[in-house]
Chains A and B, each alone.
Chain A
Amino acid sequence: DAKTTQPNSMESNEEEPVHLPCNHSTISGTDYIHWYRQLPSQGPEYVIHGLTSNVNNRMASLAIAEDRKSSTLILHRATLRDAAVYYCILRYWSGGGADGLTFGKGTHLIIQP
């Protein structure tokens, strides 16, 4: 399975944008880039996903490098509620094959008031 590399932790101030990087240099053409976050004492929560193009939703934006070897999750205006562990995951898709998610250790995002 293709692996991802994320910083162990990042710190940001409330109401400022946050850019969470993820490296995935061995990504294959059939790997989708997914982001999840896990708030303390809760199950993971889906944030966003993409394949090649940048994506936006109500929670965040995903910027994907042209060569797909890295991506950045962007929280446009961080709040204290965004403090969580953020996981960047490659979801393999074979057009009918089974899958599960392979979690790394993620990035622990700390938001300062």
Chain B
Amino acid sequence: NAGVTQTPKFQVLKTGQSMTLQCAQDMNHEYMSWYRQDPGMGLRLIHYSVGAGITDQGEVPNGYNVSRSTTEDFPLRLLSAAPSQTSVYFCASSYAGPGGGYTFGSGTRLTVV
């Protein structure tokens, strides 16, 4: 199993550009979520999904959009990149229910200049 795959691993954007961070999982997990981690900080939840067609906002959703058309994929879209969005982004997935742990991807390091 590949687990949770994030692409790209690194990206540099200019202010105002848009882009999509890709996330795919092959474990048939219902739950998927996106987090950002700024230097020296814990992770903060951006958006999450409990299944195909269902998404909701987390703690820091402004400037980001998500959609969940399939169980496997959960892309994160930056609408108009800003320097404040410079961060490391992690995607995670989990089975429904509180018993299982989340599996995280290896992250995308994004720099907005």
Question: Whole-angstrom distance from the CB of A68 to the nearest CB of chain B?
Answer: 14
Decide if B97 touches A44 in the complex (CB within 8 Å): no
CA distance A1 to B98 in the complex (A): 15
A105 pairs with B33, CB closer than 8 A: no
Question: For the complex, what is the distance from the CA of A43 to the CA of B11, rounded to whole Å?
Answer: 17
Instruction: Kindly report which residue of chain B lies nearest to residue A104, judged by CB atoms.
Output: B42
- With contact pairs A43-B90, A43-B107 given, residues A34 and B101 touching in the complex (Cβ less than 8 Å): yes
* Measured CA separation A101–B36 after assembly (Å): 12
| A: contact size bracket | 20 to 34
Contact check, B48 vs A99: say whether CB atoms are below 8 A apart.
yes
For residue B50, CB closer than 8 A to chain A, the reply is yes
Decide if A100 is an interface residue (CB 8 Å cutoff). yes
Q: Chain A residues with Cβ under 8 A from B54's Cβ?
A: 98
A44-B43, A44-B90 given; A101·B98 CB < 8 A: no
Nearest-neighbour CB distance to chain B for A39, whole angstroms, equals 11
Shortest B3–chain A CB gap in Å is 10
**B56 on interface, CB distance cutoff 8 Å:** yes
Q: What are the residues of chain B within 8 A of A87 when measuring CB–CB? A: 42
Determine whether the beta carbon of A99 is less than 8 Å from that of B41: no
Residues of A within 8 A of B103 (CB): 46
Tell me if B99 is interfacial: C-beta within 8 Å of chain A: yes
- Are B98 and A99 interface neighbours, CB within 8 A? yes
Mask: chain A, 31-61; 1 = CB below 8 Å from B; 0 = not = 0101010000011111101000000000000
In the complex, 10 of the A-B residue pairs with CB atoms within 8 angstroms, ordered by the A residue number, are A30-B98, A43-B90, A43-B106, A44-B90, A98-B48, A100-B33, A101-B43, A105-B41, A105-B42, A106-B42
Report the 9 A-B pairs with minimum CB-CB distance, sorted nearest first: A46-B101, A93-B98, A43-B104, A103-B42, A100-B45, A103-B43, A32-B98, A100-B48, A98-B50
